[in-house]
Amino acid sequence: MFRFLAAVAVAFAVAAPLGASAQSAAPEDTLIVETTKGSFVIALRPDLAPNHVARVKELAGEAFYDGTPFHRVIEGFMAQGGDPTGTGMGGSDKPDLAAEFTNTNYGRGTIGAARTSDPNSANSQFFICFEDCSFLNGDYTVWGEVVEGMDVVDALAKGEPPANPDRIVTMRVAAGGQ
């Protein structure tokens, strides 16, 4: 509980630096992610992708992400999670989402919606960029950014899939008090 409260306090003090109009993330737009490697904080961006943010918040509230692995972690590129099957082929039972593309830069810590070759196939999976991934700009939906604990993301077990993948223990909206 102490670690959760400390993470919430950090979330209130950090800014979401993705755009010139970045603001401090409000508790209802802040995710606290506890993993097998430690915790990190995500500032959600409903200004960029309101439908994707609503979906992530809904799934987090249902504990959908709890126990799911980071099934694809590529050094120097990104860590992907959000698939309950751990295969990269799974998702929630909710309908896929239409793309919400912007020209927002995919920099270090940026979170995007994973999808198939169909731009309107995002569901529950997401990826976190380790480094600049600006080649993704305009082709994937940006819905958040890691604003605290990127060292935890950096430490996730690497592989496609990792031999012993790290997992999300819990993923909750800070305002939910969960």
Domains and their CATH numbers in the chain: 2-14+28-176 (2.40.100.10)
Residue 24 — very low, low, confident or very high, per pLDDT cuts 50/70/90? low
Q: Which residues contact 119 (CB under 8 A, 6 or more apart)?
A: 99, 101, 139
CA–CA separation, 161 and 178 (whole Å): 30
Between 15-19, 83-87, 116-120, the lowest mean confidence (pLDDT) is in: 15-19
Question: Which among 154, 142, 1, 145 has a CA at the least distance from the CA of 78?
Answer: 154
**pTM as predicted:** 0.87
CA gyration radius, the chain = 15
Task: Report which DSSP code applies to 72.
Answer: E
- The residues with which 127 forms a beta bridge, in sequence order, are 80, 112
